[in-house]
Structures are given as C-alpha cells and as structure tokens.
Structure 1
C-alpha cells in the first residue's frame, strides 16, 4: 500500500500522462513528492517535434551520469545493458503522441527498492489503452455507466466508451500546428491572456509559439498590459535578438476607431487563419487582423466572435479517407485566446467559425445564432437542408447598414407572373421610395441618389430600384416581392419586429459605373458563330485592338495621351470610387490581369483604400504619368506599360478576350413601369459611361438591335437579339439595362431567365450593339431539358425538420453544412464544362450531346442551393466519352498560360509554348481556326516599328518578340 505522498505523486504522473491538452511551452516542471520519498525530482519535457524512434536522442541517468538512448522509451520497462540499471517509463506511443508529448527522466530506484519498485510497478502498469481511456473520459465528460469502471485501470469497456464519445458534445481539441503541437496553451499563459481583450490576446498568440517563433518565457506581461493593441508588435519584437523573417504586422488602420453608420460599425476587424492541408501533414497559421467590410452577423454579435478559416487544399486530389479526416478536423471546435470557436458555415474555400463561449462573451450556441437569423419555426422547417444552408450566407454577405425601416414602412407585394402563372417575371427586384433612396445615399456619403442598388433586408435579397413615380411626398418605404423573401424572418413573433437589425437595409453595392467596353470570351464567340457571325468579324475586332495600341501607346511620349488611354480602357479612378462606396478592396483580378499584383493585394490590401497605395499596374502607371514621367525618361514606367500590353495581348490568344467598343456590361432589372413590349429593352448611358467611338459623343439612349447574354453561355439560345428603344417613361434610369415584364406567349418566362437561367437579383448582362456582330446574328429557339439530364441528377430532399429531429440536432446540422460545403468545392461543374468544350469541338454547339452537357452545367451551377448531385454511374459514362479525345489547340494554349502563371508565382522557369508540340492536338473547330488567324495578326505586331521606347525587348508568351523600353 502506498503512503499518502506516494499516492499524490502517482496521481500527478497519471494526470500528466492523461492530459490531452498538454502545453509544449511549459518546458520544465519540478514535481516535489514531499516526505521521505527517494524520488528527488521529475523533469517533464515537451519536445518541439514529434518523437522519431530512429532519432537516438539521449537522456541522462542520475545514477551513472551517462547518456541513455531514448530508444529505451519503447517499452514501459527497459534495461541499460551496460549497467544493468532498470528504467521504467510510460509507453512511448502515449508519451510522444501529438497531443501529449512528455518524457520522464532522472529516476532513482536504488535508495529504497521496495518503495521505488511499488511506484514503478504502478506507473509501468498504466498501459497506453488505459491512459487513452482516461484521456477520453476526461475530455468527453463521459459518465460512469454502461460498464465503464473508473476505479479499475485494466477493466475499461472500450466499446462503451467509444459509443459514449460518438454521441457526446465534445470539446476535444485535435487542432495543432505543423509540429503537431496542440493549440491549447498552458494554464498560466491562458490566465495572463484572459486579462486582455480578445484582439490583444489574438495578436500575442499570433507572435508566440506555436504560431510564431518566440518563447512564452520571454514575455513581459506587465509591459504588455500597459500598451495598446496597435503597439503589441513593436513591444514584443523590439528586443528580439534573433535575425529572422518576422510575422506580418497588422495595419495601424486596423485598430483605429471605425466609422459608425446608424450607431453601428461601418467596417469590422476580421480575424482569420489558414489551414494548409496535404495528405501527409497540415499546418494552421494565423493571419494579421485587418479591417474589412462588415456583415450582419458581425454587427449583431461582434466581429471578434467570428474566425474565418481558409482551407488551402486541393480537395480533388484527396482520397475518401483523407477527405473524411479533413472533415473530422474541421468539425472540431477551435479553442483560441480563451474562446471556443465552432463551425458555422462554409463559403468558397473558407470556413466560418463562431465563438460560442469564452471570456467576456455571452454563451450563444450555433443553434441560437442560426435561429436568430432563420427561426426554426413554421414554413422554415419545410425548407430543404441545402436551401436552408445557402440562406445562412445572407448573414455573412459583405454589407453596409443604412436605413432602418419601421414595420409599417415595409410593404409585401406580389410578383408579376406570366399569363399561365408558371413563370415569375420580376424575380429578385423591387421598388424603393425616392426619400428612402436619398437617405441611403446620405448615409453612404454618396454625392447623388442612385437609381438602383443591391442589398439585403430581413430575409429578403436582390435589387431595389427607384420608384418610377419619384413622389417624395410618399415618405420612406420599401417593397419586398415574394421572390425576394427567402424565408419567414418574423414567424408572427412581435418581439422580432423590435430587432432593428432585421429591419435595416444592408447595402451590398451600388450599381457600378459602366465606363469601359465589354469583352467577348470563348463561350460568347462559339454561340455567336453558331448564330451566324463569321470569323472575319472577330479578326477585325482583334486588328482594331492591336492598331489602337499602335496609335495610342507605341512611340507615344505624351503623358496626357497615355493617361487618357488608361482611364478610358481600364476605369481605374471609377473603380476606386466604386470600391470606396462599397467598402471593398479591388485588385487586378477585376481587370482580368495577371497575378503579379495578387501578392501586393495580400500584403497591402487592407491598407489600399486608406493609404492610396497604387495596387494595380494600371494605377501605378497612371500615377507615374500624372507625376510627369514618360516611357522615354522612366524605364520603370516603360516596363509597367509593357506589362499591361503583355497581359492584354496574351488574353487575346488564351482567353479570346476581345474588346467590343460598342458594348457595356450592365446590371439588369425588370421594367418598373410595365411599358416595354415583348422583345424590347431600355439602355441609357450617361456621360460617365464613356464616349461613342463613332461620334466621340456620350452614348445617351441606345436604339436599335442589341444582343444580350450572360455567363455561363453554353446553349445556342443563351444569346438573344432584342430591340433597344427610347422609352420616356424610363428616362430616370441610367447605366442599367431594363427588361420587359410582358411576354410574347402566355407560357414564356422572363428575358433574364432565358439567358442561362438568370434573374433580377444582381445579374450582370453583356449588351452589345456592334453592327457587325448584331446584324448577322439569328436567335435560336429555347430547348426543353433532355430526359437524360433529368435522369442523371440526384436531388437531396432532406428537410431541415429531419435534421432537428435527430438526437444531436446541432451536431447533425454542422455535419450537413460541412458536407454541402465540401461537395460544392468538389462538385463536377468544372469537369462537365470541360466535357462541353470537347464536345463542341467535336460536334458543334447545336449537337444533341453538346446540348446535354450544356444543360448538365446549367443544373450544376445551382447544385449547392438545390441539393443536386450527379449519379456516379452517369459521371463515369460521360467521362469515358472523351477519354481518348485530342486536346484542342486553343484549350492547350489556355492551359499553358495558366501553367506559366503558376510557375511565376512559384518562381519556377517558364515552359515555352513550343514544348506542347508533342501533345495530341486538334486544329479544327471554330476557335482553333480563329486562333491561327489571330496569331498571324499578332505576328505583324512584332515588326521593328512597334515600340514605345528603344533599346529593350519583351517576349510574349505566344513566342512573339516585341521591342519595348
């Protein structure tokens, strides 16, 4: 029988070995047993790296003072063969697990053999399974039932424990760093951090191990308590002796007081992390906090309760076991800075976590948060799980709060439908009063009242346009059409009407200024060719684009002319104004340029708007020219202009991005007046939308034939020729395109729905009135969905009430949210789009098989919201159709451009496009013939006369050498 001191010491050892959240930073701890125990001291180490049995690191024996191989830790009882000394340790499988890394040394078992042997026997008898079970019952709060015997170390019912664990609400933390170290900090450090606000605690943790490289022992807690969060970085690193790459510092503007709108934050501090995941390892890192757009959830619960986790993983390459492992990890809560973050929603490649409990916050479960947003009542329970999950995103949209409407100012109105009642003709748009729109403009600090905006209010989303009556005496009001309302946010509960957050118009964006021409792409070109537009039409547009470079850039040393060309073609200042209005940061992706500036966005993005830093190549050129530099006296400017031309010319051959001067990309709305006839549209462009290249005058009202389309554009009927008219009733609306709410036939749908299933909740339309394109084009009839498409799709009909009826509804809902998110990331839309490309090359746009793949793509676009998946046997059959197909030349060209882009990001050498000559290529098809002709035109550009500054060369990706400065 052990005495009291021995029992206490034994208990300490068991607790240490059982602790799944042991902190690696607490590098040394002395456990005193007291009394006359012969065990003088115990030293506990938390290795920085996972223990490798092949690594014969050593420990020191207190008796011989000689080094003993660490391999003796392989068994609970090992012998040093040189001295015969017996060493007793816990099994290394447990000691060196990712969650519990420790080793015990300095063991003296000679002073009192009886006492030591008893202690050693008890310690050695703690097998890995026993320790594991003690871990599990502690972490999972498993109760003593179902055959679980807590008093007998050897008689655990493992099946019972596993069953209890499976059904428990566990907070076990499996999250760790790349060094397999747990996130949970030592209690002493957590206690110190608990004295700070979350923002300051987050910053400290970001700099220290395991995320940073600094040791916790170096922290001066008293000094940190006296300084602001903005100065944490400088305080921690001011005396750091090690020369190394320091973590990024948060922008000073992050910690500045935010602008308030209606008493609420106009922006929010964003807390984020990145999970780098491969089949072999994963690494979690924290990003610097930054100030960014606010969201409804942020304003209601506080942005510091949300953590966005970017999952950096190629899910397509993960096998089912690896994917399941990733899903299990993402479902685990993350304990960070004293708060427990649980999975809320997935969007794109980002997972949003919500702090359900922790320091200085009210305990709020995921269930309660969602119930505030979408009440689990009434008709909401009949929503499909897929649609329900997609509606959570409304609370996570980037928005700015504006007008708070009173309940009496919110009008519910019905949609306009087709004569047979089967089609909605006003899907997603409604009216707002002039006074309300003026108030929105005032809150947003706009200089003029917009005619339309995109927003959210309560459970409604879409576009709101000015009331055509412009009656300011009608007061403040807003219409919510049935198609705009996505769920019942009130549920007859009068208390919810008192919540102003549910009655606030949250603005997503004001309609952008269409000051630059639109561009054709591969999808548009193929359908236009199918509709009768000849190849020569596109070649003339390409030649015009090249000649414009010659006339506007090559040999030009006039800063004013170059400034005019950049502003007219790339809308730099207009884009900056738009993004300032919408509280978003723009980058070169909006200009469809290369990734050279993406790293600049990541580094300077949060400072871009406030600092005026020229983020894009176009704006850098603009500012240099405005400062008086020219390509002749500034090699850097010549190089940047070279970059602009390189990207534009490369996109001619890789993306077929052909500019059409007589076109614009406009947001569409349904006719507010109902005065447009079937087949008519209304477009009015003001002076800010650019000049007509034919007259050099503002466009004004567009009249005549116009083709309209949107992306995706795969079916022959996805491009439609209509007639633009001058309708005085709509003269108050500019820089948007208005579609009719009248139809030719009783069973016709809206014009927006004809364009690849569009609607009026924010869709943008490519509108072109170029005579050479519009003239020869002929409309194609709308085709019904093929029976093969209907048979290929599986629909998940699970209702949200089915999830709520499970034993653990919150866990079931989180699992479903993650499953839908993963399925969305791994969905087969891109593959079917590729199948469609190959099929069109082989058979043409109008072939039955091409129609099949186009309709499959149309269904998969909304797969997330509709709960659609492709049957596996159908996917296998469809894939086999093109297994041996040759790759079209134009597709290989695009693939090579992407490869060069990735190589440039990774600083790898480029592979010349000639290296693809060994590939199996086809040079037939409309796009391939067009590509060959475009290359001939680009060859002319390589002439010695095509220069902007002497004594420099530039090589285009398609092999053409051009002279530049």
Structure 2
C-alpha cells in the first residue's frame, strides 16, 4: 500500500482497506483527492463502498466515448452490502457456512507481473478457511500461462514465489492447482498472530509423520484441505475405529469405503437439513477421504462411531484432543436416489457396440426419445404441460440455484468439484425482470398466462429451447439409459488387456520423498524449497496432455476401431495421464513429440466434428445425392439419425407457433384500450387522454430509436427462423447490446418527463428518481409503469422479434399485466397464472427438493 494512504486507512477493517486499494490508483482508475480521502476517513463498511461507487461513476461520466454501465459493472460489485456482514463473522463449529474471499488475476507481460484485483465475493466452506479464516487467503488466477515458452514460465514461477505486499499485509505463496494460486497472509497490521507457510501446511498435514510420502503425493494431499465441504459431527477419539480392508486375491474390495453408525448418520442428516437419513455420504475426516455408508447388517443401536479403512487414509496426523478439526466429519456430497435415467457417453456407446449391442437398439431408443419429445411439445398449447417440459429438459432449477448462490460466489475449482460460476444478470435485466436465457423466459411467460399459439415471442423462445435440447444430444447422449435391459442382455464382456510395453518407458518417474527433501536443504531454506516444489508440480500438471491423448484416442478408434493396437495404446496412455501428477509421472518430451507426428493427421470423423462445433452443418457439406462421405462407425450413424429427427421436429407444422403478424395479446390490448375508453368518457379530467397519447408517443419513438440502434449493431438479419435460433441468444450476450438495453431501460423509466403530464390523474406522481427505486410502494407510479409497458408493447408488437423492445425493457410488468387481467376474468379460479408480488415469487421459484440437494 502506498505510504500516503496509511494515515487515512489506519484502524479500518481489512475488507474496507482492500476495496480502497483496489479501486484507487495504482490498482484502480480513481485518482485519490484530498476531498475523497476526507470522506473515506469518517466512513466505514458499506458507506465507504458507496463513496467509491460515486467516485467511479463521476470518473467514467467525464470520459468521452465510454460506456458507463459496462465500466462500472467491471469494477464494482453492487452486492457487497450482503458480503460486509459476513466479514469476520463467527460461525458454529458444524453446519453449512460461507466465507468472504479475496481474489485477482495475474498477467505475465514484459518480464513482470501485472496484478488486477477483483471485488470481494463469497466462497464455499473449506477446511483451510475454517482453520485459518478465508480472509487471510488471496486467490490469484494466471491469465496467460498457456502462451508462454519455457523461459518465460521459469521467470513467471520465480516471480510468483516473491512475497506480495497488499493493503498492509504480506502474502506468501501457499498452494496452486490448475491455474489458481493460493496465497496466505503470513503477517499484517490487522493480523495479531504471524504464521509461516511451513506452519500453515504442517497444521493440517504434519510433515514429520508423513516424511515417507513422495513430494508428488504430498502436493496432491494438500489439496484435500481446499475441497468444498460442510463440517458435521465431531467424533470423540474412541468413536473412530481403524479397521483393515477386505482383500481377495490381492484385490481390494473396500477401496475408499467404510461403515458409519446409524446414530452418527442421523446426526449428519440433521446438521445438513436432510429430510431423510442418507444411506451414504462422500466426505473427509482428518487425513482420510472416501465414502461412508450405513451397513444394514450392523447394530442399529444409539452408539455413535465411524470406521476408517487403510485405503481411506491418505496421510497421518497426531491424535490430539485439541485438534477438533481432525475429528470432524466433513461432507462433500450426500448420496441421493437418481432423479433421471443415466446416460451413455461416446466412449461407452462404442464399447457397448463392440461388445455385441447392435446399432438397432440405439436407434430404437433414440426414436422413442424423439417420439416422447413430440408428444410433450408438438401440438401442445397447455401452459402447465409446457412448463413441466421446459423445467425437466433445461435444468432450470439447477440454473436458478447456481445463479442464486453463485451471484456472490468466487469461481474456483477444487480437487473434487468445481463451483460453476454463473454471471449474475446485468443491472438492466434485473431492473426490468427480463431473464437472460430462453428457458427462464418461456417458464415465466407461460406462468403469466401467455401461450405459444398467440404469442410469437414466446413461441420463438420455446422453439429455441427445443432446438438446444435436441442439439445437446451431440455431446450428451442422454436418451440412452445405462441399465436398460436391451443394452445389458446383449453385451459380452472382454478380458482386461495387458499394458502396452511402450507405456512404462514413456514416463519419467519422480520418487523424491519429503524426507529426501528435508535432508537435502538447510532448515532455513525448507519453506522456500517446499513452495518451489509445489509450484513446479502445479505447472507440470497443467502441461500434462490429458485432453490431447484423449482426442487422439477418439480419432484413432473412430478410424480403425477400439481394438486396434494403436487405439489400445492411446487409451492406456490416457488412463495413465489421469493421475500422472499424483504418481510423480511426467511424459517424456520425445514420446509426446513422436506421438504427435503419428496421430496429428488423423481425419476428424463426422460425430466429432459435430461435437467440436456443436451445431448442425449444412447438408451441402455433408452429403451429395443423399450419400454421406466420411461416415464411419456407430457414432457417425447415430449423429445422422439424431440430425434427421431434429430437422423433422423443428420443421414440424404441429408445433404451435403464432404467426409473426398475429394480433396483439388480447389482455394487454384490453388493459390499454380500457384506459383509453375511460379517458374519452372522463369529463372531470379531460386531459387524461392527452397524457395517454403522450405516453404512446414517447413509446413509439423509443421503439424506433431502439430499432435503429440494433440495426447498427447487428445489421439486418432478416426474418429467417434458423438465423433467429442460432444468433439471437449470442447477440444478446454481446456487451454492446446489453449496454443499449440498459440505456433504453433508463429512458423508458424516466420518460415522459413528469412535468409534461397535465391531467389530475398524474398530479401527485413523484419525482423520477423516486419512481425508479420506490415505485414498488407507490401505486400511482406502478400504474404509470403498466401504462408505459402496455403502450411500448403495442408500439413494438409488429416489429421483428429481436427488435421487440417491450420484452427486454418491461418483461416483468407485461407478465404482471397479463396475469392480473387473466385473474380478473377467472375470478376465484384456483391454479391460474401467478399475480403475486415479485418478492414472494422469488422465494417460491425453486423447488424444495433442489434446495435440499444444494445444502451440501
């Protein structure tokens, strides 16, 4: 931190200090002024953030040709108000929790590191976070390691090992996996207890007890402390039983699995909030990892115990009464019954085919799936049925959960899983209620009462969801059930083939142990040597060509079959590379170079090109006179069959789709027309009709300006359905389009100017600034918003679908108008469209079963 900052941030919490450093120069764009510092000095927490937000807004508003919305979105996390209360919060020792995380990006450029800091986010709980506080960690993502040569990588690694001073703290390198670096604050003005990197590692993984472990396994075992886990019950030392594995003919039949008492599992279920006691869980306890299950043949008394088998223990630790964290069962996943049939990937399908399962079986199952799709969607105009179909086929509930949780969560991967980060909806879409994906749009419009036979915009989105669902079959053959008898009874197993002699000589082996390391360097150099080894292993792991050999295997086996000698060699190489880092294996450069020369020129089969491009190729490129060239094997045949089914379904005339020139929605039209009719009859407020005309004039102008803007950005795409299906979603993701949407949303909310209204109806309408943020509590403002939304819809309903501004700008309001008009027609009919307030709707939109699954 620059010295001139110190006097202003003295005594400020680290979260506040971090934000100041991140946004002000040299990390951020804002030049600190005396006035700004004087404001910061007397504030804390969220108030400091608001001052910084205003400074950023003022800074970008002064720059020419800069989109304020995009720049502010990059630098400011508007949800920090939810993060501040979590900072340094004390959680109970067991149960789910979240943590505040600090992160950034590292770029190696011109022989030096460029550090960019990210806004604070929330992270899932991990053992290291619980032991040492997540706020002492800094996660840095390497942005360009793949493009560096060996000399540059060597220089990068040496720079990454230097201590990093930041916001009054000193961070040192601790661990790395993939391209994520974990730094730990060993000291700082706000840290009462200094802690070395050696102490951090030794606290959870005692090196003296594990010095016979290889450095490669040591690297892998550290990662267990960075798994996403939920701490549950704490066992007493006498409740932890160490038992042997079950071994027959030197084969372990209990690898990674052991029993847990029913009483203990019930307690786990209670802590996790499960409605039922799970039969099994995946977890960690001390230095052990694996699966624990309830043995139905064991005692079902109230005693609490857990068994640890030798195959589960990955490292040793001291049995100390004070080390509660080593006796805490940490749960990664709860075993639940499957919610849908299993699926087969391309490897399994080819194995089954070569094992005796005929192509006919797969095509029959595929046709059954296609017929199921047809029966559920084609010809259907029932909102409830269509909602159920979209929900089941688009994983919408899971997506909602990811958005809900990951709106605040850091994107990091662990050794077991990856927190799928879904970028939160932009501010414009949040304000208008416009969902940023077709599946969500379909569901909310159907729940409001729209139908595809009368609403072209809904019909287009439903068709898009149907197309995406079917196209996903090219990479995920979800239609094939793993345990279908037709597959199982035809399959003939093959004996396990011996390891190809070339495999063993293809790798260099590193058998260096922790003991070898400790005895080879001075005690003062041990910490730095450990850091160096961890980072070096991480880079070797990133360079391991797992994906390359897997791709070569697909190419070779597609061309020559899976029993071809070279196919078997590539399959066995791929298997070796999966855990090569943990075993200390590094592929020899000359081996990879030779294999590259042999396999790089293999032709790409039809099905793999489908998988690569994830789109339907034009028929002109694939067939001449109905004959497909280059089509070999079962995968190519299945892809052609699937493509034919998709084309038949997408072009099926039975799919209820409203004509693009369909009449306006009768309910939205009635809402507007009723007000116009009422205004024409009003003698006491004759100017109300003039105000309605004013609203319609502004709406019409907004539609024309929007159309002009989008034409400039996207060009005239025409009315082709296939173009709309393939390009509309991608274009909406474009930041420039989002910026236009945001600009027009603000115009929509702020026009017509309040002072231009002349009628008594709008006499008491509040100032526009109040309307934007307080309209939910102002009935008059809400009424005006509905009028503007209805007029906007009627002004744009005859435009091309991508130019119908009304949905992007007033989605939530239009859905509310539709549902309320329908409800007024049906009176007390139960089960109609939703018309509850948005806050209640948000609480009800995720099924309980999904919330239960997410708790762990």
The TM-score, its normalising length taken from structure 1, stands at: 0.61
The residue aligned with 1:368 is: 199
Give yes or no for contact 1:939–1:960 (8 Å, CA) kept in 2. Answer: no
2:462 pairs with 1:641: yes
Of 522-531 and 642-651, deviating more is: 642-651
The residue aligned with 2:607 is: 890
Q: 2:162 aligns with which of 317, 332, 356?
A: 332
The residue aligned with 2:649 is: 941
Aligned counterparts of 1:465 and 1:356: Cα–Cα separation in 2: 40
1:554-593: per-residue Cα shift (whole Å, max 9, x none)? Answer: 3322121122223444555478789999999799x9xxxx
Q: 1:512 to 1:218 in 2, by over 3 A?
A: farther
Alignment of 1:917-928 (within 5 A): 922-928=630-636
Q: 2:85 aligns with which of 256, 266, 279?
A: 256
Alignment of 1:574-593 (within 5 A): none
Q: Once superposed, what is the RMSD of the aligned Cα atoms? A: 3.7
Aligned counterparts of 1:373 and 1:876: Cα–Cα separation in 2: 40
Following superposition, the deviation at residue 894 of structure 1 comes to 2.3
Structure 1 alignment gaps of length 5 or more: 1-184, 590-596, 664-767, 901-909
Aligned counterparts of 2:463 and 2:114: Cα–Cα separation in 1: 39
- Aligned to 2:139, the other structure's residue is in SS state strand
2:175 pairs with 1:345: yes
The residue aligned with 1:359 is: 189
The residue aligned with 1:111 is: none
The residue aligned with 2:479 is: 659
Following superposition, the deviation at residue 865 of structure 1 comes to 1.0
The residue aligned with 2:511 is: 797
Aligned counterparts of 1:959 and 1:633: Cα–Cα separation in 2: 23
2:32 pairs with 1:216: yes
The residue aligned with 1:552 is: 376
1:277-311: per-residue Cα shift (whole Å, max 9, x none)? Answer: 56888643222111221111111111111011122
Q: 1:260 to 1:598 in 2, by over 3 A?
A: closer
Q: 1:207 aligns with which of 23, 27, 34?
A: 23
Q: 1:552 to 1:956 in 2, by over 3 A?
A: farther
Alignment of 1:286-435 (within 5 A): 286-313=117-144, 315=146, 317-361=147-191, 362-378=193-209, 380-418=210-248, 420=249, 422-435=250-263
Q: 1:488 to 1:548 in 2, by over 3 A?
A: same
Q: 1:186 to 1:283 in 2, by over 3 A?
A: closer
The residue aligned with 2:308 is: 480
Q: 1:414 to 1:636 in 2, by over 3 A?
A: farther
Alignment of 1:497-512 (within 5 A): 497-512=321-336
Q: 1:253 to 1:632 in 2, by over 3 A?
A: farther
The residue aligned with 2:774 is: none
Following superposition, the deviation at residue 487 of structure 1 comes to 0.7
Alignment of 1:224-235 (within 5 A): 224-235=40-51
Following superposition, the deviation at residue 411 of structure 1 comes to 1.2
Q: 1:613 to 1:373 in 2, by over 3 A?
A: farther
Alignment of 1:554-953 (within 5 A): 554-570=378-394, 572-573=396-397, 601-603=422-424, 618-619=439-440, 621-632=442-453, 634-653=455-474, 655=475, 657-660=477-480, 663=481, 768-805=482-519, 806-807=521-522, 808-897=525-614, 922-945=630-653, 947-951=655-659
Structure 2 alignment gaps of length 5 or more: 62-67, 414-418, 661-719, 729-799, 803-856
Give yes or no for contact 1:193–1:337 (8 Å, CA) kept in 2. Answer: no
1:519-575: per-residue Cα shift (whole Å, max 9, x none)? Answer: 222112211111122223222233233333322123322121122223444555478
Give yes or no for contact 1:585–1:605 (8 Å, CA) kept in 2. Answer: no
Aligned counterparts of 1:958 and 1:838: Cα–Cα separation in 2: 31
Following superposition, the deviation at residue 470 of structure 1 comes to 6.8
Aligned counterparts of 1:846 and 1:794: Cα–Cα separation in 2: 27
- Aligned to 1:602, the other structure's residue is in SS state coil
Q: 1:461 to 1:782 in 2, by over 3 A?
A: same
1:836-881: per-residue Cα shift (whole Å, max 9, x none)? Answer: 1121023211122211111111110001211111122222222221
Aligned counterparts of 2:502 and 2:373: Cα–Cα separation in 1: 49
Of 616-625 and 523-532, deviating more is: 616-625
The residue aligned with 1:454 is: 282
Aligned counterparts of 2:125 and 2:605: Cα–Cα separation in 1: 45
Give yes or no for contact 2:100–2:122 (8 Å, CA) kept in 1. Answer: yes
Give yes or no for contact 2:258–2:293 (8 Å, CA) kept in 1. Answer: yes
Q: 1:189 to 1:613 in 2, by over 3 A?
A: farther
- Aligned to 1:830, the other structure's residue is in SS state helix
Following superposition, the deviation at residue 945 of structure 1 comes to 1.2
If asked which structure has higher relative contact order (CA below 8 Å, sep 6+), I would say 2
Q: Which has the higher strand share?
A: 1
Q: 1:230 to 1:617 in 2, by over 3 A?
A: farther
Give yes or no for contact 1:450–1:510 (8 Å, CA) kept in 2. Answer: yes
1:296-346: per-residue Cα shift (whole Å, max 9, x none)? Answer: 11111111110111222251x322122223222322222111111111111
Q: 1:538 aligns with which of 347, 362, 365?
A: 362
Following superposition, the deviation at residue 513 of structure 1 comes to 4.6
- Aligned to 2:242, the other structure's residue is in SS state strand
Aligned counterparts of 1:195 and 1:799: Cα–Cα separation in 2: 45
Aligned counterparts of 2:179 and 2:329: Cα–Cα separation in 1: 28
Q: Which has the higher helix share?
A: 2
Aligned counterparts of 1:355 and 1:917: Cα–Cα separation in 2: 62
2:361 pairs with 1:519: no
Give yes or no for contact 2:380–2:655 (8 Å, CA) kept in 1. Answer: no
1:386-427: per-residue Cα shift (whole Å, max 9, x none)? Answer: 100110011111111111111111111111111x3x221111
The TM-score, its normalising length taken from structure 2, stands at: 0.68
- Aligned to 2:653, the other structure's residue is in SS state coil
> Which has the larger Rg?
1
Count matched residues: 640
Aligned counterparts of 1:348 and 1:440: Cα–Cα separation in 2: 32
Give yes or no for contact 2:95–2:272 (8 Å, CA) kept in 1. Answer: no
2:101 pairs with 1:270: yes
Q: 1:191 to 1:567 in 2, by over 3 A?
A: same
Q: 1:556 to 1:797 in 2, by over 3 A?
A: same
